[in-house]
Amino acid sequence: MLGWLAAAAAPILIHLWMRHTHRDTRWAAMEFLREAIKRNARRLKLQQWLLLAVRTLLLLLLAFAAAKPYLSGWNLLTGGPKIHRVLVLDGSMSMQYKSGDQSLFDRAKQYAVKVIESGNSVDLISVCLLAGPPQTIVAGPIADARRASAQIASLEPTYGRGNLSETLAVVKELIDDSADEASVHEVVFFTELAAHSWHAAIDQPATIAQIEDLANLAKLTVVDVGAIGPENVSVGSLRLAGSLPTTAGPVRLECEVANHGPSRVYDVVVQLVNSGVAIDEQSISLPAGGTTTVAFDVQLAESGWQTIAVRTPSDNLAADDVAWLTLDVKPRVRVLLVEGAPGAAKYLQHALNPGGQTSPIEATVIPEGALVETPLDDFDVVFLCNVARITQGERDYLHRYVVNGGNLVLFLGDRILPEVYNDVLAQQQQNLATPPAAAMGIGRGQRSTNLLYSDRAPAMRLVKQADAPADALLPAEVGELRSSEEFGLDPLDYRHPIAAAFRGSERAGLLSTPVSRYYELKPSDAATVALALPSGDPFLVTAPCGDGMVAVIASSASLDTIDPATVQPWTMLPAWPSFLPIVRELVVFGLEQNRDANRAEPGMVISGALPPTWAKASVDLLRPDGRVDSVPVVRGDGIVEWSYTSTDLPGAYTVLSTASNEPLSVATVNVPGTESGLTRVATDSLPDSFQVQTTTGDLQRTLANVGATTDLHRWLLYAVLALLLIESVMAWAFAGRAA
């Protein structure tokens, strides 16, 4: 563009050419005029030079105005700096909301591309996605506007959450890395300002401090692409409600359907789907902002892994119109009862299996000496009933079972040795059954779903990686033996899921359960008290242990445990009406923890442990989109493991058997429920560091308020117009005086 500066020489060349294109011819009349002109020559020459200067300056200014993109980058005339612009697109699931025929994310991409196109060709561009975790799309920074625009055009929103704090940290890194390449930085956020992502900018001091630090380095602009008055119906929290996943009887499935819009919705059809086939449906109405629980009772006819879904009609946010759940359906739930004395588990066996072959629970009784010879992976829950002592080998065997997703329940009694329990079961050992996620480099606290293999399909179960690789098998230290003269158990406001089953059933006997002899329990920090005694002492304590669950009951499971002083049973619980629901809820609670771990969110890591005899170098995993990925197997220190990170879509992820291509296990990924709420933060509540622009008006007006480019070209054009007027007036005035 600066080549047009040569045009400024045109008036000078024309002036010089005109001076040499005439021939002198003398005649009398002209001699008189010549003498008159000589008298005014100085004035005329000054006028000509002034006109020449104005016309030349006019062309120079026009060329400079046309070259505006280059002037700012070259720091000419104005000293305009090179700008590094970081474009942050909100990629959280709620940005999939459609407003008209365009999603909010598509609108954000449109504005981001326009911002790039309106900038200078030498401006530097970085692009990142506000997600959880954030994704750097163009680290650069690059000055290639076409390439940056192409990268933005290819982006798709995620199905996960948005993490503002982590995104701000990534943006700061991008600015720090480009400090030597640009002196001016600008960060532009394209977002709907959803409260679930942006509340941190208002009420979290750490995030507010991040924003203030970033504002010292860059200009911060928010382009609000959100919809006005969004409406959305979502379905979530699909769960098995107090039932066991067996073919022995009907199971109850529950889910939450919510209306996030400002008006009531009518006749919403909620369908229950099993393996892709709709098997039941209900029609409901929801008030504005209302939520209701929808329940389905269904008979599962076949055993094996089954994928259940509940869906509603597609709306403006289709991603949250379906919820997923996988069930490892069995003919019966298998429970192992280990007796420390003959008959110690007979009441427990009857409570778990009152209906014989028609019961959903199959209870197997063994003496304590047969524990290490019994394959624990064949059982869903193991009960220890008044077992006197646990050897280190038995402890390791039980520990390996529990951290791999098993459930252990300890009933105490007159035979147990508290010091042995505290020394052996309460110890924490980190080197047993190290979770695959840890070996794969997944840090503590990261969300990770651990998939465990068993030679006997479909006993393979999917469980969630805990923060700690291994925990104690005893959720509470066993203290002194105590007596009580008061009857009854305290449900502690029914907060624990085991106690919650008794809510509204006060006549079930829980509140009048007699317990006269028990051990004092001192819960660990990770434990939760489910039931307590009238004295306030804990009676039933649960805690997570690796990928499983452990529980301890302060008294006995048998009426044969006698107090010598009174010649009465320690407790009448085994004969009380509350006994059967308590032990049943213990089983349900343990299995529910495993099912909770089966449900992941997009971005969580699925990992698994395989037996040492696994021969293949990979496992096959079927994704929700139908693609089968071959996941590499890692071997080391006698452990065979795999890890899968591409859980980017909601739905079922199936690990296939190498022999029959049948499911060995299925994990479901569900969208986070918080993303369904489309409540927005008020723009005036954001920190003052943000300049907020809305997209409800004209596109060009919005873009004019975004960016830090110099506006010198506008002033140059104004000057050109002024000079055109001045030149015309001067030419007219000089011509008039000459006449």
- C-alpha dist (Å) from residue 478 to 524, 556, 652, 717, 738: 11, 14, 42, 87, 118
Q: What are phi and psi of 289, to 5 degrees?
A: 70, 10
Class of domain 603-669: mainly beta
Q: Which of the listed ranges 64-73, 210-219, 421-430, 467-476 does the model predict with the highest average pLDDT?
A: 210-219
**Share of residues in the chain with pLDDT > 90 (%):** 52
* pTM of the shown model: 0.74
Does the pLDDT at position 379 exceed 90?
yes
Distance, first Cα to last Cα, the chain: 41
- 233-324 architecture in CATH? Sandwich (2.60)
- Mean pLDDT across the stretch 360-386? 93
Q: Residues 413, 385: contact at Cβ < 8 Å?
A: yes
Q: Please say if the pLDDT value at position 78 is more than 60.
A: no
Strands in 379-483 per DSSP E? 381-385, 407-411, 448-452, 461-464, 476-483
Burial class (CB in 10 A: 0-12, 13-18, 19+), 415: middle
pLDDT above 70 coverage of the chain, percent = 80
Residue type, 223: V
pLDDT at 533 over 90: yes
Confidence bin at 600 (pLDDT 50/70/90):
confident
Of residues 228 and 142, more confidently modeled? 142
b/e per residue 271-300 (b: at least 16 CB within 10 A): bbbbeeeeeeeeebebeeeeeeebebeeeb
The token duo for 519 is 């051990």
Strands of the sheet containing 233-240, edge to edge, are 233-240, 251-259, 291-298
Answer whether residue 527 shows pLDDT above 60.
yes
Q: How many residues does the chain have?
A: 739
Alpha-helix residue ranges (DSSP H) falling in 300-433:
346-352, 392-403, 418-420
**Mean pLDDT score of the chain:** 83
Q: What long-range pairs does 625-631 form, CB within 8 A, spacing at least 24?
A: 625/649, 625/651, 628/656
Alpha helices for 668-711 (secondary structure H): 699-704
Pairing relation of β-strands 233-240 and 102-103? unpaired
On whether the CB atoms of residues 606 and 449 are closer than 8 A, the answer is yes
What is the per-residue pLDDT across 496-510, written as a single tens digit (0 to 9) for each?
999 998 988 877 889
CATH number of 83-229+678-709: 3.40.50.410
> 518-557 burial by CB neighbour count: b if 16+ within 10 A, else e?
bbbbebbebbbbbbbbeeebbbbbbbbbbbbbbbbbbbbb
- Residue 45 pLDDT more than 80? no
- Model confidence pLDDT, tens digit, residues 641-654: 778 889 999 999 98
pLDDT of residue 693: 87
Structure tokens belonging to residue 511: 């509140």
What's the fold here for domain 333-434+471-597?
A: Rossmann fold (3.40.50)
CB 491 within 8 A of CB 648: no
Say whether pLDDT at 141 is over 70. Answer: yes
Mean of the pLDDT values across residues 99-103?
Answer: 89
Query: Between residues 14 and 332, which one has the greater pLDDT?
Result: 332
Instruction: Decide if 474 contacts 425 (C-beta within 8 A).
Output: yes
